[in-house]
Structure 1
Amino acid sequence: MIRIFHTNKLTRQPFFQALINFLHDNQDVTLRQIKARFEEENNIDRQLEAYIKAGYIVRENRRYRNGFHLLDSLDDLTLDQEIFVDTESAIFEKLKGVTVKQQITNTSNHLIIEEEVDVVRERLTLDSYFYKMRSQETLSLDQEELYSVLGDVNPEYALKYMTSFLLKFTRKERVIQRRPDIFVRALIILGFMEEVAPQTYILTMDIDQESLIFTSQN
């Protein structure tokens, strides 16, 4: 099965995803065959034209085929590039293991959050969470837990409170918070800190005191 990472408005459509897998499994497909296979789908002609115009589908001699390349190498792979990959290929499992170091800055202070982010953005990281909110892509199960706390929060608003709390660990090893809020809960879910006693927290990140880089250990 073909899976797409970092979709856009066209490629996240259920019909598009079903169509490319149909074309992947069948050769010399005609319009009649497409309409027979997807007889309950409306406006097939118009949708096909949009896919062809975008270069995702190719029409030659009244036959249709996929116009994109399936991932066959991890060389030159960049974060957030559109990826089409066969889930039955050997490279699929390798792809899920590729990570990129990302840094999150904010406008409230000089603290920097550093994380190892997987290129498919399925793992729970703050950087991937904010990315999914911007791109409106489907959240993974781990990311859903964070969403249940933060929702579609404004990143700068969240970072203001999260980084302000993290900065307290530059002055003390244990921080007491009498009234934990959603941002404290989010920091725990992300694995940035843990509660060691009621309303008492310790940091689980590495700190560079000079540069104020807080590095996640997840």
Structure 2
Amino acid sequence: MIKIFHTNRMTRQPFFQALIHYLHEHQDVTLRQIKAAFEGEKNLDRQLDAYIEAGYIHRKNRRYQNAFRLLDSLDGLSLDQEIFVDTESALFDQLKEVTFRRQMTNATNDLIIEEDVDLMRENLTLDSYFYKMRTQEELSEDQKKLYAILGDVNPDYALKYMTSFLLKFTRKDKVIQRRPDIFVQALVTLDFLEEISPQSYVLTMEMDRKQLIFRKIKDEA
């Protein structure tokens, strides 16, 4: 089975994904075969032409095949690039271990949030959460926990309050938040903070006071 990471509007379409799986499993496919396999699909010819024009499908001598390259190496990967990978290949499991160091800045203060973001963007990180909100890709189960707190919040608005609260730890080891606050709750869910007693929080991130970099400690497997 082919899995696509970082889909766009076209590659996210159910027909596109069903078609590339069909072409992956069948050779020397004709238009008649495609229409028989996807009987009832509206505007099939028009969609096929769009996939061909976009470079995803190749048509030659009235035969159709996938035109994209399946991932065959981890060399040169970049975060958020579109990737087609065979889920039965050895590389598929290796992809889960690929991470990128990401820094999030904000317009309110100089504080920087630093996280290790997985290439698949399935882990619970603030950077990946905002990415999924922007691209409308499906949230992982862990990310849905954050969505239950924040919803589709404006990133600048959220970072304003999150970073302002984190800055308090440059002056104190323990910070008290007497009123319920969704942004503090989100910081706990992200494992940036720990609530040690009701309304009392300690930082669980590494902090560089000089550069104001707050780095999430990488989870140990």
Give the TM-score normalised by the residue count of structure 2: 0.97
Superposition deviation, residue 135 in structure 1: 1.1
What are the ranges of 5 or more consecutive residues in structure 2 without an aligned counterpart? none
Equivalent residue for 1:197? Answer: 197
Distance 1:19 1:160 in 2: 44
Equivalent residue for 2:214? Answer: 214
Equivalent residue for 1:41? Answer: 41
Equivalent residue for 1:188? Answer: 188
Distance 2:130 2:91 in 1: 27
* Counterpart residue type for residue 170 of structure 1: T
In the alignment, is residue 123 of structure 1 matched against residue 123 of structure 2?
yes
Superposition deviation, residue 40 in structure 1: 2.5
Distance 1:60 1:96 in 2: 36
Give identity over the alignment, percent: 71
Superposition deviation, residue 180 in structure 1: 2.3
Q: What RMSD in Å do the two structures reach over aligned CA positions?
A: 0.7
Superposition deviation, residue 19 in structure 1: 0.5
Q: How does 1:1-218 map to 2 (within 5 A)?
A: 1-218=1-218
Superposition deviation, residue 194 in structure 1: 1.0
Distance 2:19 2:182 in 1: 41
Superposition deviation, residue 72 in structure 1: 0.5
Secondary structure of 2:17's counterpart equals helix
Distance 2:204 2:14 in 1: 40
Distance 2:21 2:104 in 1: 36
Distance 1:147 1:46 in 2: 37
Superposition deviation, residue 110 in structure 1: 0.3
Superposition deviation, residue 134 in structure 1: 1.1
Distance 1:39 1:217 in 2: 51
Give the TM-score normalised by the residue count of structure 1: 0.99
Distance 2:104 2:63 in 1: 47
What are the ranges of 5 or more consecutive residues in structure 1 without an aligned counterpart? none
Deviates more, 1:134-143 or 1:71-80: 134-143
Q: 1:93-112, CA deviations, whole angstroms, 9 ceiling, x for partnerless residues?
A: 00111000000000000000
Q: 1:16-64, CA deviations, whole angstroms, 9 ceiling, x for partnerless residues?
A: 0111000000001111111111113111101101100000000111110
Superposition deviation, residue 166 in structure 1: 0.5
Superposition deviation, residue 168 in structure 1: 0.7
Secondary structure of 1:103's counterpart equals strand
Distance 1:169 1:157 in 2: 20
Secondary structure of 1:59's counterpart equals strand
Secondary structure of 2:178's counterpart equals coil
Deviates more, 1:31-40 or 1:205-214: 31-40
Secondary structure of 2:133's counterpart equals helix
